[in-house]
């Protein structure tokens, strides 16, 4: 049975496994892991009885596991994961009108080799696309003032990625690649997988400028998934929450965890604390056991984090030198699965939390 400490389940919505969930008004948008399921649109006006309104499907060979919504515009990623019977698939960003959530309508499609993860502030989309001539995903800002005519504003890449321009990477394969950018004011905080993270000055969005970078792989074995700025000081410090993802390990290792990094002097980021769930003894464990993704909307010092096999963990960072767990929820293992795989969490306007499992099902939760 599901186990909750300080968290209560409001309802469960049975659906294919998802990579991301976001709520706008009384509608939840769930981006799924596997074709033909693309994005489910769900009425949560009564959170005890979620009801499916519509679904956007994708062809086999396409991965569409991320979604963002603002002011009636929905963005979904498209990654090409395989050829289907020799038929080429198109990667990029799908742009939809969801002003009528039960009738999603594609406005246009921005083409690239593929888009992994992104954020969206209602005007600009901050993407991690794959583009011709580059090795691995880079940073790109797209202006969606007119959603029917997306326009590139600017791009940034780690030196070495632009192989068509004569650059030579100092790393293997796609180890150094943009995972996703998060903008806060005139700064952009970008997770760069096994390339660490970078802080960019985006006062001029057309010309991003690197302020600093930090990479801890090696000695640590996990790629960096998210670099999330806390929008208020903690103990007088400016703090960046950095989540390593428990996949693509460079060596056998214990599960990944959450870092706290002091960026008060943003030219010299300094990791100074971390959080790991209880019971981890330091021995190597299989992928999809440890940390994955914090809720990107920071409302207080209590940070909900999707923690793969350990469900949802609420981590209080009020004392940033000693982050501590204050609540948790471990769902039941989904039907047909072998263990929990909590992949993403978000809030709605009522303070409810939405926890999507990578393999199956969505839980709607509240603090008890």
Tell me, yes or no, whether 27 lies in a domain: no
For residue 126, report the phi and psi dihedrals to the nearest 5 degrees.
-110, 110
Contact 90, 73 (CB under 8 A): no
Counting Cβ atoms within 10 Å, is residue 310 exposed (0-12), middle (13-18) or buried (19+)?
buried
Q: What pLDDT, on a 0 to 100 scale, did the predictor assign at position 3?
A: 81
The reply to whether 63 falls in a domain is: no
Question: Residue 270 belongs to a domain with what CATH number?
Answer: 2.130.10.10
Digitized pLDDT (tens) for each residue of the chain, 368 residues in all:
578 799 999 999 999 999 999 999 999 999 999 999 999 999 999 999 999 999 999 998 899 999 999 999 999 999 988 765 666 789 999 999 999 999 999 999 999 999 999 999 999 999 999 999 999 999 999 999 999 999 999 999 999 999 999 999 999 888 999 999 999 999 999 999 999 999 999 999 999 999 999 999 999 999 999 999 999 999 999 999 999 999 999 999 999 999 999 999 999 999 999 999 999 988 999 999 999 999 999 999 999 999 999 999 999 999 999 999 999 999 999 988 899 999 999 999 999 999 999 999 999 999 98
* Cα–Cα distance for residue pair 200/48, rounded to 1 Å: 42
Residue 219 preceded by cis peptide, ω within 30: yes
Q: Is residue 86 part of a domain?
A: no
Let me know if residue 43 belongs to a domain. Answer: no
Structural domain span for residue 171: 3-18+112-367
The count of structural domains within the chain is 1
Domain presence at residue 64:
no
Amino acid 109: pLDDT: 98
Q: Residue 281 has what pLDDT?
A: 87
Q: Is 362 exposed, middle or buried (0-12, 13-18, 19+ CB in 10 A)?
A: buried
Identify whether 12 is part of a domain: yes
Output the pTM of the full model: 0.96
Q: Is residue 156 part of a domain?
A: yes
* Res 41: pLDDT: 98
In a domain, residue 214? The reply is yes
């Amino acid at each position: 049975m599901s186990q909750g400490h300080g968290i209560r389940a409001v309802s469960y919505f049975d659906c294919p496994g998802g990579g991301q969930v976001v709520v706008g008004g009384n509608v939840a948008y769930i981006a799924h892991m596997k074709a033909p399921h693309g994005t489910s649109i769900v009425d949560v006006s009564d959170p005890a009885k979620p009801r499916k309104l519509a679904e956007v499907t994708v062809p086999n060979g396409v991965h569409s596991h991320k979604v963002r919504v603002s002011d009636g515009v929905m963005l979904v990623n498209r990654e090409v994961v395989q050829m289907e019977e020799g038929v080429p698939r198109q990667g990029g960003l799908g742009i939809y009108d969801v002003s009528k959530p039960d009738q999603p309508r594609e406005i246009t499609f921005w083409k690239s080799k593929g888009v992994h993860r992104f954020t969206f502030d209602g005007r600009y989309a901050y993407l991690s696309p794959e583009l011709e001539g580059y090795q691995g995903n880079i940073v790109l800002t797209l202006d969606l003032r007119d959603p029917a005519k997306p326009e590139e504003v600017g791009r940034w890449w780690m030196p070495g990625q632009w192989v068509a321009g004569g650059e030579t990477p100092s790393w293997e394969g796609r180890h150094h690649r943009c995972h996703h950018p998060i903008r806060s004011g005139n700064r952009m905080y970008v997770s760069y997988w096994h390339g660490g993270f970078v802080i960019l000055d985006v006062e001029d969005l057309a010309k991003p400028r690197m302020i600093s970078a930090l990479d801890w792989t090696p000695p640590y074995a996990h790629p960096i998934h998210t670099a999330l700025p806390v929008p208020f000081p903690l103990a007088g410090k400016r703090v960046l929450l950095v989540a390593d993802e428990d996949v693509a390990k460079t060596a056998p290792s214990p599960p990944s965890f959450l870092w706290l990094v002091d960026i008060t002097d943003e030219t010299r980021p300094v990791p100074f604390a971390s959080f790991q769930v209880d019971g981890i003894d330091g021995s190597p464990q299989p992928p999809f056991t440890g940390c994955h993704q914090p809720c990107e909307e920071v409302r207080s010092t209590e940070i909900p984090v999707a923690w793969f096999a350990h469900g949802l963990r609420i981590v209080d960072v009020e004392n940033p030198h000693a982050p501590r767990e204050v609540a948790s929820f471990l769902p039941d293992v989904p039907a047909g699965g072998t263990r929990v795989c909590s992949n993403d969490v978000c809030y709605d306007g009522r303070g409810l939390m939405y926890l999507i499992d990578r393999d199956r099902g969505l839980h709607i939760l509240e603090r008890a």
